[in-house]
């Protein structure tokens, strides 16, 4: 698998409401996704010329305080090709979200990773303007961990 995009908390951009806090924990930047409110952020990239499907999104995280339960994240792509009739000033075109969950580590602060297979990928192709939406679905029954989930990095890999 080849890395096609790698995102850090500083690279996130946000909707007008319900977005994770960008904070530092032990001088490490993280995105703090709340346990009680669905929160979303976005990352922008250009799809590389050697892109091959399928694509998997790897969400590296740690928990602020939880040592039991699981977290549930959703990821979605918006892919726009040169010549597509999508008015970027007025609309978004994210595909249906894919989801993944992970059992939190038994020690708060330890790292874990969730793999989300992007079966819905908005027909992403080489050269596309692309955005990745990441959301903690806090009210999903599969998200049972208390406290914030701190996102450290997000890696997007293709099958090459």
Sole residue written with tokens 């500083």: 10
Mean pLDDT for the chain overall: 96
Burial class (CB in 10 A: 0-12, 13-18, 19+), 39: buried
Read off the pLDDT of residues 1-37 as tens digits, 9 standing for 90 and up. 799 999 999 999 999 999 999 999 999 999 999 999 9
Classified as helix, coil or strand, 21 is: strand
Handedness of CA 11, 119, 92, 75 (dihedral sign): negative
Burial class (CB in 10 A: 0-12, 13-18, 19+), 23: middle
Closest CA to 33 of 84, 121, 104, 91: 104
Beta strands in the chain (DSSP E): 2-7, 21-25, 28-33, 39-46, 56-63, 70-80, 98-103, 112-117, 129-136, 149-158
Read off the pLDDT of residues 102-129 as tens digits, 9 standing for 90 and up. 999 999 999 999 999 999 999 999 999 9
């Amino acid at each position: 698998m080849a890395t096609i995009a790698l995102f850090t908390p500083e690279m996130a951009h946000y909707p007008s409401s319900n977005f994770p806090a960008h904070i530092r924990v032990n001088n490490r930047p993280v995105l703090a996704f709340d346990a009680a409110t669905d929160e979303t952020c976005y990352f922008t990239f250009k799809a590389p010329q050697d892109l091959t499907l399928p694509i998997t999104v790897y969400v590296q995280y740690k928990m602020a305080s939880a040592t039991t339960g699981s977290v549930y994240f959703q990821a979605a792509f918006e892919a726009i090709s040169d010549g597509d009739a999508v008015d970027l000033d007025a609309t978004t075109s994210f595909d249906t979200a894919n989801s993944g969950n992970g059992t939190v580590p038994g020690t708060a602060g330890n790292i874990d990773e969730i793999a989300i297979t992007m079966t819905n990928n908005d027909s992403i192709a080489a050269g596309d303007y692309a955005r990745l939406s990441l959301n903690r679905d806090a009210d999903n029954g599969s998200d049972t961990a208390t406290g914030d989930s701190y996102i450290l990095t997000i890696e997007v890999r293709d099958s090459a």
